[in-house]
Chains A and B, each alone.
Chain A
Amino acid sequence: MKVFRALLLPALLILLAEIGARLSGPSDAIAPPSAIAVALVGALADGSLLADTRDTLVSAFGGLALGAALGFVLGLLLGAAPTLDKLFELTIEVLRPIPSVAVIPVALVALGFGYRLEISIVAFACVWPLLVLTRAAVRSVEPRLIEVARALKLSPYDRIAKIVAPASLPRVFVAFRLAAGVSLVVAVTVEIAVNPSGLGNGVMTAGQALRPDLMLAYLVWIGLVGYALNASLVLAQARLFGRAAQAEAAR
């Protein structure tokens, strides 16, 4: 029943699009959903769509891993050490608003085309959500737990590893989910803008070949990949952190 309700609106929209596209006749910009479905199956069957997906995900996950790790460590440090935070504040606040797209020309000159270019730009975009949310999570660790750490005279390393990091982890995971969504968006963006590989490049190529069915098939596929990514992370979150994390994620 729930599945039926969730599918009702998409089914209706697809039906309307089908009717609309058929009534308006042939076009270079849009295609009826039936033609998109045929193109999607075709691209899946000949392996090109899966190869592009692999290229995009390698870059997205590579950049996510790199950026998230960096953002997490920086967030822990800056959250735990206010002096360090003051020192980094201006630098971070100036770098953070730079759109990741604006970094493309710089990275292109420095790194050339390829995975390295894409991974480093994705990493740049993924650092910030982790850094900012981890820092906030560390600062909001229950003060009584910090006192327990003081009372037990835990070493600075143990204080972070045994108290601060686990206490912040549920909120850090929410940041990670956010960053995962960003990583896919940025990877596809870089591919559309410059890097000749992956799903973004597939969209561009199909558009230039005047194949709206294939172009839209790529878009639908990107949506499905993003949906699957988020759904698996939500599942992992529920498994790892239980009820508390779900309440957090719902906010």
Chain B
Amino acid sequence: MTNPLIEFKNVELQFGEHLVLGGLSFAIQRGEIVCVVGPSGCGKTTALRVASGLIPPTRGEVLFDSAPVRAPRRDVAIVFQDYAKALLPWRTAAGNVSLALEAMNTPRATRAERIEGLLKRVGLPRHADKYPSQMSGGMQQRLQIARCLAQDPAALMMDEPFGALDAMTRQGLQDEMLDIARGAGATIFFVTHDLEEAIYLGDRVIGLLPHPGRIGIDLKIDLPRPRDQVATRENAEFLRLRRELYDFIHKAERGGAP
């Protein structure tokens, strides 16, 4: 068995007196989609930011491809929840994707073609000249994903990427994301507060307990792929997992209260 792509090794994070992460240890294999859920305050977003290299851990370390993560890497793309703030309002859709290509030093001559391909891949083929303010929330999040894909990432860090979208848009994007992930073979660390979303997308769902953030449950999701918004969600195993996770979160919320 090859080494895992991302490995948390006893990661602790302290903000002043407050212990946010209390010794997280788990590994994410290459090509695996791991969803992290948990009640608010469990440090799921913080764990993602530590793994992305945006925050250094107080103790322990995160290994990426066996090397300790000390700063963000270009082959790890971060999809932020607040897509409107993460896009450059003064650049068009094409310009926003171009930012990542410029950062990667992609030759100018090949950029236009790559931008076109990326926008097509996220379902925005005819919107290259639009500014983010002229796009709906779903389109803006697609655009941010296109910019992340322009990094040719080995791993995608997604922080509640669909949390602010309406239910229909969210389901559409979930399926598109799974398509893209399957095509690219990317490893995905997906933070969400939506338990069904976690089961629907994940190969594994990790539930965190709050105060301090630590692993409470680690479920293997053995649902057939490709997944289907109707059939998968009616699958008996899906319903069993959903019940198990709901019970866990319910207990975590009560247990987590001071």
Chain A contact residues, CB within 8 Å of chain B = 142, 144-145, 147-148, 150-154, 158, 162-163, 166-167, 169
Residues of A within 8 A of B151 (CB): 152
Residues of A within 8 A of B76 (CB): 151
Query: Are B80 and A166 interface neighbours, CB within 8 A?
Result: no
Partner of A152, one of B80, B82, B100: B100
Least Cβ–Cβ distance between A60 and chain B, in angstroms:
30
Chain B contact residues, CB within 8 Å of chain A = 52, 54, 71-74, 76-78, 80, 82, 85-86, 88, 90, 99-100, 102-103, 151
Among residues of A, the one whose C-beta sits closest to the C-beta of B82 is A144
| Cα–Cα, bound, A227→B82 (Å) | 42
Query: Are B99 and A150 interface neighbours, CB within 8 A?
Result: no
If A151-B77, A151-B78, A152-B74 touch, whether A144 touches B86 (CB-CB below 8 Å) is yes
Partner of B99, one of A142, A144, A162, A167: A162
Least Cβ–Cβ distance between A144 and chain B, in angstroms:
4
Least Cβ–Cβ distance between B194 and chain A, in angstroms:
22
Query: Are A142 and B85 interface neighbours, CB within 8 A?
Result: yes
Least Cβ–Cβ distance between A158 and chain B, in angstroms:
7
Query: Are B86 and A145 interface neighbours, CB within 8 A?
Result: yes
Least Cβ–Cβ distance between A71 and chain B, in angstroms:
22
Residues of B within 8 A of A154 (CB): 103
Query: Are A148 and B86 interface neighbours, CB within 8 A?
Result: yes
What are 15 residue pairs bridging A and B, where the CB atoms are less than 8 Å apart in the complex? Answer: A145-B86, A145-B88, A147-B78, A148-B86, A148-B99, A150-B54, A150-B71, A151-B76, A151-B77, A152-B72, A153-B71, A153-B103, A154-B103, A162-B99, A167-B88
Among residues of B, the one whose C-beta sits closest to the C-beta of A152 is B103
Residues of B within 8 A of A145 (CB): 85-86, 88
Query: Are B102 and A151 interface neighbours, CB within 8 A?
Result: no
Least Cβ–Cβ distance between A243 and chain B, in angstroms:
10
